[in-house]
Amino acid sequence: MVSNTGMIKKILHLSGWDLKNLPAVMMNLRTALWLLLLDMMLGMTFYIFVEGYSLSEAFFMVVITLSTVGYGEIQPLSLTSRIFTSGYIILNIGLFAYFLAVFSFNVLQGELFKRLYMDLMQTSIENLNNHVIICGYGKYGKEVARHFIKQRIDFVVIDQDPVKIELLEKGEERRTFHILDDATHDEVLIQAGVRRARGLIAALPDDSDNLFIVLTARQLNPTIQLVSRAKDPRSEKKLLLAGANQVVMPEQIGGFYMATLISKPGAVDFFSFITNEYRSDIGFEEISYDQAPAGCRGKTITDLHIRKSTGANIIGFRDAAGKYHINPGPETILYPGTSFIVLGDKEQLQAVKEYLKRY
């Protein structure tokens, strides 16, 4: 039994349409509707002005001619009208076949609803601000997405593999904003809102692709936080020169973690506990100079009263050179290019955010 799509392909082929890529031609339902409307107006205009038909008679004649039903003429046609009608029927064989093909592809096969869904998603992406872009939905990109969902962080996934995007749409991340395209293209990053994003994670398996993404993203948004995956240690320096803030080598981190489990098991267990969102409600928060309220800038740890007001502790300080200082002194000042690292449970960290808003 021949499928609808196969039958449509045969009709188009017999009608003279040389189509190597049927879906590419059938994408525009609006164009097909306009062509059909113009075709009907052409026929009605001819029958009204040449044969003297009324509007309803001309419409009926066009419909039975276009659909090849063949009920018969409303009144005998002149030789000129017969020639026109013959050509009109031949023209409509191809046009009507094209319309049926477009209708089948867009409506019967769900392409119209898919396109409406993607248009709605793109509109939602355009409304995002201060979000994160994940380039690559492999094993690392998927873990990043799961973490962001738990943390309620807005993000957009870009991947050019239809299978991965289909799995994303069916999995627990099905409400995730995503784009099926190549993340190395400038226009795709712009479509994902790279100019409005606060961060981007380049998690593609190829280091050269990640390098290209980092370089492009840094040019499009000079202030964005860029984190890149790397397989080859030699790629780390190149990625940093291209503009990456951090370069992560999963294999290296995995080896370090396993070695530390032997040398310092207690410390690793404690760190795993406080960073495991499933077993612990303890977390970290960074208070950077640029994101801190104006009243907090230039203040010392003592002046901020974070421990007294919220119960959270400032356990780290990152200076302007990017160096971290553990357990900074009470006189440490938050100045441009620096930030405090705060440790606390969920309630305490939320209290820190509320406290700083009122500061």
Separation CA 334–CA 323 (nearest Å): 14
Q: Return the exposure string of 269-282: e unless at least 16 CB atoms fall within 10 Å of the residue's CB, then b.
A: eeeeeeeeeeeeeb
How many CA atoms within 13 Å lie on the side-chain side of 137? 28
Residue numbers of the chain with a pLDDT score lower than 50: 1-27
pTM as predicted: 0.58
Q: What is the pLDDT of residue 193?
A: 94
* Greatest extent of the chain over all pairs of C-alpha atoms, in Å: 103
> Quick one: pLDDT at residue 24?
42
CATH 3.40.50.720 is the classification of domain 128-248? yes
State residue 37's pLDDT score.
85
Q: Residue 323: what residue type?
A: K
DSSP label of 107: I
Task: Please indicate whether the domains covering 128-248 and 281-358 agree at the CATH topology level.
Answer: no
For the chain, how big is the Rg over CA atoms in Å?
A: 32
Residues 6+ apart with CB under 8 A from 262: none
Considering the four listed CATH numbers 3.30.70.2970, 3.40.50.1820, 3.30.70.1450, 3.40.50.2300, the one that applies to the domain covering 281-358 is: 3.30.70.1450
How high is the mean pLDDT of the chain?
Answer: 81
At residue 22, the pLDDT reads 41
What would the two tokens of residue 130 be? Answer: 């201060």
Domain ranges of the chain: 4-109, 128-248, 281-358
Q: Which residues contact 216 (CB under 8 A, 6 or more apart)?
A: 184, 186, 189
For 4-109, CATH number? 1.10.287.70
E-strand stretches of 126-187: 132-135, 155-159, 177-180
